Amino acid sequence: MMIYLWLILLALVIFAVFKRFYTPKYLTTLTQEDFIKGYRKAQLIDVREPREYEGGHILGSRNIPMSQMRQRMNEVRVDQPVYLYCQSGARSRQAAQFLKKKRGVQEIYHLQGGFKKWTGKIKKK
């Protein structure tokens, strides 16, 4: 009986690690260097909450918080690439999944490590 519990626990840990580091096929993770090369020709969206955005954001980005994505998804054009970022990468992955499934966006990229790893130009409100 104890062996089964350990196997279940091991399976849950493996699943959690896989889920954390797996990048879906519809989402491309970019280094800061590659992100900078492409985001000027695309829609740059910060999916953090407004308070986080006002504390500092990538120059040229607009704020569509993940918590408002359902209501504001029509603001995202499907005919242009979408570059997403959040604080660490978790919310931008969620936003990418949502935009792919509900809005049909085909070209989605997100910043590896999120805003906390960003060393480029920022703007504060």
Residue 24 CA to residue 19 CA, distance in Å, equals: 10
Catalytic residue among 58, 76, 86, 105: 86
Return the beta strands (E) in 1-121 as ranges: 27-30, 43-46, 57-58, 62-63, 82-85, 108-111
Determine whether 54 is an active site residue: no
Residue 66 CA to residue 61 CA, distance in Å, equals: 14
Active site residues: 86
